[in-house]
Structure 1
Amino acid sequence: MGTEAPATDTDRETRFRELYASTYSDVQRFILRRAHPSHAEDVTADVFTVAWRRLHEIPASPGEAKAWLLGVARLTLQNSSRGRRRYEALAVRIAEDLPRQVDTDADTEVLTRRLDLAVAWPRLSTTDQEAIALIAWDGLSTAQAATVVGISAVAFRLRLSRARRALRRHLDDSPRPGSGQPIHQRQTARRTR
């Protein structure tokens, strides 16, 4: 599935430099969502060390190469010597991005949706969080995301579908802090005003 081995050390180095330049930020962003920032740089370095050693195995297609590297990143995180579950850090960090002031009804609606997601997200299993994150945050296709988690594209599509249903269910059933009212009831009340 990889490319042909580069003919010379210069070709190998050139290919690695191009791969590094085109994927570094995606790999690091993927890792930062799953690990403490102080650990992310080390994990990223480990991923690219594996990439250098196994350069001949990395697919030539940019999207497939990215998926391959994210798969290595995922395994590196799972095998981390620190022994902590890295996927607990995958919870949405929405509160950090909330606007300081809410000026319009549109801003209020965006703020409400973010708060709803912040409440519903941690209720998802780590498997569901990962499936949604690979598509929504990492911008992978279902086939590429399947490569990352090591399953078939069909199995990943099924996993993603279940994850989306679970998220919708949690959004519909979760009261926003302080309101005591499930989201679907608030939305119905807004529509009837």
Structure 2
Amino acid sequence: MGMDDTGPPDEREARRNRFETVYDATYAAVLRFAQRRVHPSHAEDVAADVFVVAWRRLDDVPVEPDEARAWLFGVARRVLMASQRAEQRRAALTVRVADDQVTGRLGSGIDADVVLHHVDLARAWRRLSPVHQESLALVVWDDLSSPQAAEVLGISPVAFRLRLSRARRALRHHLSSPAPARGGSPATLQQRSTT
């Protein structure tokens, strides 16, 4: 049975009290569980998602505190796995889009400088945070206005414009900073392609 906020006032109050008891007894443990598995900046989001599930499924949460904690750890694990799958899909899409742009241009007879620029852009894109990628993607790929993108994200248009400005600045920074020394610098790659 799902958790809702309908029913007699006494029953609603009892459910709220039960949730608060579970929350107070387990939040710190759930947060530590998440902090050991994700970047600290994401741990609170994971914990929040776990307690949304707990709120909705309060009747399924065990009464005994240690059992409730274990149940919530199971929820946290599923939240983390779903997040990982989403991140993998996002990364795969990013690589596919970047590769499509590069290979599409190669077939058009565009010179090596353009190809290298697209490779640099794809590399810089991958170095952006998911928040910055989403902000840029909504405007560039999805062709949304700032107010429309803000609505998609559930934030104000002013907050979105600030987020977009930071994303553009981060992208410029990643484009201007040297790439990791894996396959050589763009200049080295260009020299290799011309010899």
Q: Give the greater-gyration-radius structure (CA).
A: 2
Higher relative CO (Cα under 8 Å, sequence separation at least 6) belongs to 1
Structure number having the greater helix percentage: 2
* TM-score (norm. length: structure 2): 0.45
